[in-house]
Amino acid sequence: MSRQIDASNELMNPAISTSHSHAIDIRVYYEDTDAGGVVFYANYLKFMERGRTEWLRALGVDQFDMARDLKRCFMVTELDVKYQKPARLDDLLCVDSRITRLGRASINFDQKIFRQTELLVQSAIQICCVDTVNMRPAALPSLVSKKLQAITQD
């Protein structure tokens, strides 16, 4: 399936995104790297957060609105990351996200970062929905819950 790519920008790759998974391309800039010449280990978590956020946005969920209108936001509660190969300046990465479990107040993701077909980083991440006022766990807003059920249910 051919596609013209403007590799200079972050593009959602529809060839890879399906109803069960989501993929975005992310370019590595100087800000992401460290003096070791590679991406600083914490910065891969930024890429993963962008991946989760763009998936939610593609489903019609805007986290700014969710916080303002519904007083709900997401907090990461657990993560497990394996770093296999480093990414470097100017690399074009792909963040691939899948939902492995959908709970009443939490979502589990598997996220992988690739450079073309090479797997660089893989992770299992749990995010929890919390009330922005008291920071306690709270059920996912029903709209969000329905949208995620629709894509995870089959």
Q: Which residues bind a copy of itself (CB under 8 A)?
A: 3-6, 8-15, 24-25, 27, 29-31, 33-38, 40-43, 45-46, 49-50, 53-54, 57-58, 62-65, 67, 73, 75-83, 85-86, 88-90, 132, 135
Pairing outcome for strands 72-83 and 21-27: unpaired
- Percent of the chain that is helix, strand, coil (3-state, to 5): 25, 40, 35
Work out how close the CB of 18 gets to a copy of itself at its nearest, in angstroms, rounded to a whole number: 13
Work out how close the CB of 145 gets to a copy of itself at its nearest, in angstroms, rounded to a whole number: 20
Considering the complex, state which of residue 112 and residue 153 has its C-beta at the smaller distance from a copy of itself.
112
Considering the complex, state which of residue 62 and residue 118 has its C-beta at the smaller distance from a copy of itself.
62
Closest by CA position to 46, among listed 7, 84, 5, 93 = 93
Burial class, 84, CB count within 10 angstroms (exposed 0-12 / middle 13-18 / buried 19+): exposed
DSSP, collapsed to helix, strand or coil, labels residue 125 as strand
Work out how close the CB of 54 gets to a copy of itself at its nearest, in angstroms, rounded to a whole number: 5
